[in-house]
Amino acid sequence: MRVLPVLLLALSFVACGCASSQARPSRVGEIGLNSAYERALSAENNARRTYEFSAPKTGALIRSEPPGATIEWLNHEGTWVTVGSTPSKQIVIEATGKPELFRVSRLGFLPQTRWVASTGGRGNVEVMFELEPDLPVGHGVKGGVR
């Protein structure tokens, strides 16, 4: 019978020690919701969804002389992305007047970069790139170095 009170006393010390060691004061802002950040993030996501799913779109047909050039598009992160070759199939662009930057290049020719935009209502936008030949290496310069 003497063991039971000693055991209960020991358990109460352990319970009190565990409870007090786990409790700590909370700091302001440590855990919680940053309402200004959440509102800004929600507005950005809504704008992205509107652009991707609700903004009118149209097609761009890109051609070059000579044909067979690579078509690249400058994405929103600033990276050139290859989207096809000339003559292109329809490339989807926004039809709100917002310009998209395209670059057309082919080996042996100078590349060209051009803004392409559409306000819709007239079908596909057709763009023609006239590529100029690049000078061959060593053309007109001794040793090929200028």
* CATH label of the domain that carries residue 71: 2.60.40
What's the pLDDT at 112? 93
Q: Which two structure tokens, joined as six digits, stand for 72?
A: 């690249």
Q: What is the pTM of this model?
A: 0.56
Q: Is-contact 111 105, C-beta < 8 A?
A: yes
Residue 1 is assigned to a structural domain of this protein: no
Domain of 63, in residue numbers: 56-130
Phi first, then psi, for residue 75 (nearest 5°) are -80, 180
Round to whole Å and give the CA distance between 8 and 94.
Answer: 75
Residue 89 is assigned to a structural domain of this protein: yes
Residue 88 is assigned to a structural domain of this protein: yes
**Number of domains, the chain:** 1
Residue 19 is assigned to a structural domain of this protein: no
Under DSSP, is residue 112 helix (H, G, I), strand (E, B) or coil?
A: strand
Higher local confidence (pLDDT), 10 or 37? 37
CA 50 centroid distance within chain: 16
Residue 72 is assigned to a structural domain of this protein: yes
Residue 75 is assigned to a structural domain of this protein: yes
CA-nearest of 71, 61, 68 to 128 is: 61
pLDDT digit string, tens, across residues 98-124: 888 899 999 999 999 999 888 776 678
What's the pLDDT at 28? 61
Under DSSP, is residue 30 helix (H, G, I), strand (E, B) or coil?
A: coil
DSSP state of 143: G
Kindly calculate the radius of gyration of the chain based on its CA atoms and give it in whole angstroms: 33
Residue 15 is assigned to a structural domain of this protein: no
Query: CA dist 44 to 33, 98, 120, 131, Å?
Result: 17, 18, 25, 39
Residue 71 is assigned to a structural domain of this protein: yes
Q: Is residue 8 over pLDDT 80?
A: no
